C-alpha cells in the first residue's frame, strides 16, 4: 500500500462543559487531568446569554488535546467506555468522528470519587493522511485534494480494523 494513503489519528480532543466556573470547573479539570495525564485548557463563553446567566468571557468548561501515542492509548480506553460501539451518524464527510461518554466512571481505570462527583464528556477524533500539512503550512498553503481526504467509509473501516469498534 502507498504510505501516503495510510490513515492515522491526528488528534483526540476531550471536552467537559460545566456551564459555570468555580468549584465545578476545577473538579472537571482534575478529572480530565487524571484521565489523560495532561493539564486541561479552559474554554470561555463567546457570547453573553442573559437567560442562562452567562457573560462573555466567563469560563464554561475545559478541554484536552491529545496527539501521538498518548492519543491512541487514551482512545482505546474511551472506546471501552462506550462498549466499542459507535453510531454511523457520528462520522462526518471528512473522516472525523465524535461521541459522548455519559459518566466518566465508565472509563476503565477511573474510579468514583465522591468529592469530585460524576461528569460526562465529549470525545472528538480527527483522522488524517500524510500530506495534510499543505493546509496549515506558512508558505504556499493549498487545500487538500478531494481524492486525498479521508471519506466516511474509509474512517469507519479504519476504526473497525484498528480498534475493533462496531459501527451501527
147: containing domain: 3-167
Supply the CATH number for residue 112's domain: 3.30.1440.10
d(Cα 14, Cα 27) in Å, to the nearest integer? 15
The total number of structural domains that make up the chain: 1
**17 - beta bridge partners?**
61
pTM of the predicted protein model: 0.88
pLDDT band at 154 (very low <50, low <70, confident <90, very high): very high
Q: Residue 158: is its pLDDT beyond 90?
A: yes
Above 90 in pLDDT, residue 95?
A: no
Best CA proximity match to 106, nearest among 125, 85, 84, 78: 78
Question: 155 pLDDT exceeds 90?
Answer: yes
- pLDDT for 40 equals 94
The stretch 128-154 carries a mean pLDDT of: 93
Q: Quick one: average pLDDT of 53-61?
A: 89
pLDDT of residue 161: 92
Amino acid at each position: 500500500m502507498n504510505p501516503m494513503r495510510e490513515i492515522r489519528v491526528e488528534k483526540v480532543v476531550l471536552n467537559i462543559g460545566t456551564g459555570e466556573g468555580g468549584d465545578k470547573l476545577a473538579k472537571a479539570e482534575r478529572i480530565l487531568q487524571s484521565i489523560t495525564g495532561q493539564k486541561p485548557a479552559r474554554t470561555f463563553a463567546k457570547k453573553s446569554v442573559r437567560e442562562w446567566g452567562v457573560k462573555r468571557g466567563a469560563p464554561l468548561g475545559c478541554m484536552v488535546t491529545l496527539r501521538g501515542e498518548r492519543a491512541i492509548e487514551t482512545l482505546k480506553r474511551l472506546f471501552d467506555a462506550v462498549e466499542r460501539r459507535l453510531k454511523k451518524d457520528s462520522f462526518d464527510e471528512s473522516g472525523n468522528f465524535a461521541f459522548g461518554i455519559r459518566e466518566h466512571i465508565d472509563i476503565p481505570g477511573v474510579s468514583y470519587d465522591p468529592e469530585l462527583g460524576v461528569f460526562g464528556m465529549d470525545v472528538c477524533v480527527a483522522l488524517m493522511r500524510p500530506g495534510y500539512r499543505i493546509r496549515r503550512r506558512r508558505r504556499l498553503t493549498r487545500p487538500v485534494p478531494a481524492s486525498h481526504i479521508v471519506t466516511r467509509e474509509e474512517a469507519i473501516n479504519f476504526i473497525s480494523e484498528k480498534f475493533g469498534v462496531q459501527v451501527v
